[in-house]
Structure 1
């Protein structure tokens, strides 16, 4: 999957930081986003160590300059924060959990969703097609919410367009996908990619080996949307012009000429209502199958110990000091304790969600992005595992 994921040195193609840009695209029958204007002035922020321009929306979220990607305050910083891809699994997390929220994959390979009543039946039909495309070819699953604390709300944006925008990764109950009244599967499949944590393919660090960016044809002010990320994670070694996360050749064109071509100057194939072979490969790395569970109930059975000399990718699992960890986009998450006897109770049962406005003391526990954390005497939060385990 040429899709990049948001991690450090690997870059999901950027299937993860992604920014899909705005306005009608020449010779395309869909829009990357419904509008180019934002509700606030653009300010400099840092996302996974990269400088970006973002506009604060009325709802408190941040839009990356007219793109279809929406970020939350805790996914941005005011100064560059280096991402260490070789940190040990039990690295502590600062007491301000929000500073390390960044991009998070969905737990248990499952995107939990709520459909707003304002979404038309035609768009609901396209939504089902889009979910089926992902579930029929990858390990990702979708579940309508019952009482889960992490979910994405799918709603109308009030526009009459084949367009959409989405938040990046799992964001507790704050995530959303907003769609126009004419949105089709070709756009929806792309927006689901953002929800999974993927950014645009053309933002990969190796893109100049595969495509040409024609900056002379790009709308004034949109040049930054074609930046190369230095901090997203690549989950496949190959660039993919067929990825659902790839810009079209005329995205942000100011003169009807292509903004992106292949190395021979040819326009790229139009995006289809399908995920590519590399999208499938990359997603199944990020969201790996659980395989056959150990009959003796030991979640660590067959999982190798963490090796500080090895480079790990999103979705990799290791054992470390008696626990099972899984690599997320930008950190390790403790999944379970290595044991011969399975535990049946949910470790998050009865624990409240993290609230940045609350004061916490040593020993307190909170739920944050699907994981249980406890606050130590040193003022740092430690992950105790995934909710549901």
Structure 2
């Protein structure tokens, strides 16, 4: 079954710098295993961010999105379309089971916490180079895990290739990046982009104004990866051919002819081990600077009140009913109360992480994805703010 709308992460204000790396390309020295080409019968139809997509369940329980290097968890997919609007008022209440179907979460405090397992020294060197590329040009930071509950595990996939796969966004302790033994920074920078919550540039609704998709050259079964999301709401104004998230000209080619060209029929620039100017601009919008204010200042100072009907993007902040909120990929997160914040306090100190196997009573507090929640008498969890505030 063909899917006409690949991903609508942009619908909810997701950054329009989207990344992809693929196999055996004439002008690119990295690989991606095109699973979608081999057996379409193994793919099932789901909804991701209100868009119908094809996914394949992997042995580890994750789902490959359209056969690409993006891996999703079951709770990021739904069986029915669930509209996600970016104009609704902040709502901190979540049902009795913490977790939101179809969600993508950005990293709290602009910090990707990571664990490295089983990588060769050469790949570790490429990993450091890739992290430095993101952290030196954007507000994103990287930290080796000590006891954090949200982190990504970076490990080998057992293949001798310049390739990788990654889960999308922050996923508690489940997130991963898996790399081949020959993986370079060209691929790693891209996979970090997926970890930050970004998907692929060629799926933008305005892509036909900038590139030509050569369907006659695409491998059988891989055309789904080149469909666009017609209802996408864009954050970065311009389509970015140079984005680290962009498909290359020979991605999934069946005949050594280009699958993507510019409007003049020319192949796209060769991928570099670098993020583009728009990658930088978009990332700093999704992960805005924390302005360097001291903990004693009012966190709501200078932040405008939420406006009904206004469209908001990932990273935007508003005040609403006495609290500060920040827009995530799929929802508003309550950051803090609009009052002076005591120095050196953390509202999550001493509070345990949420467990789906435990029964909770009204008044219980838990941490979940970097935020503190309290269970109300109505069976809904209410956010009390971000850990560290």
Question: TM-score band (shorter)?
Answer: over 0.9
| 1:10 aligned to which of 4, 10, 13 | 13
Partners of 1:182 and 1:302 lie apart in 2 by: 48
2:366 is paired with a residue whose SS is: strand
Partners of 2:115 and 2:292 lie apart in 1 by: 30
Structure 2 counterpart of 1:53: 54
Unaligned runs of 5+ in 2: 1-6
1:1-389 equivalences in 2 (<5 Å): 6-13=9-16, 15=18, 20=20, 22-33=22-33, 41-100=42-101, 102-116=103-117, 118-230=118-230, 233-293=233-293, 296-342=296-342, 344-389=344-389
2:100 is paired with a residue whose SS is: helix
Structure 1 counterpart of 2:4: none
Partners of 2:196 and 2:242 lie apart in 1 by: 18
TM-score w.r.t. length of structure 2? 0.92
The CA deviation at 1:230 is 4.7
Check whether the contact 1:5–1:197 (CA below 8 A) recurs between aligned residues: no
Q: Deviations over 1:249-297 (max 9, x none)?
A: 0101111111111111111011110000000000000111111415852
1:84 is paired with a residue whose SS is: coil
Check whether the contact 2:373–2:381 (CA below 8 A) recurs between aligned residues: yes
Task: Report the number of matched residues.
Answer: 382
Distance 1:7 1:320, change over 3 A: farther
Partners of 1:14 and 1:53 lie apart in 2 by: 22
Check whether the contact 1:365–1:373 (CA below 8 A) recurs between aligned residues: yes
Partners of 1:129 and 1:28 lie apart in 2 by: 19
Unaligned runs of 5+ in 1: none
Distance 1:295 1:104, change over 3 A: closer
TM-score w.r.t. length of structure 1? 0.92
Distance 1:351 1:294, change over 3 A: closer
Partners of 1:287 and 1:219 lie apart in 2 by: 36
Partners of 1:39 and 1:335 lie apart in 2 by: 43
Give the root-mean-square deviation of aligned CA atoms.
2.2
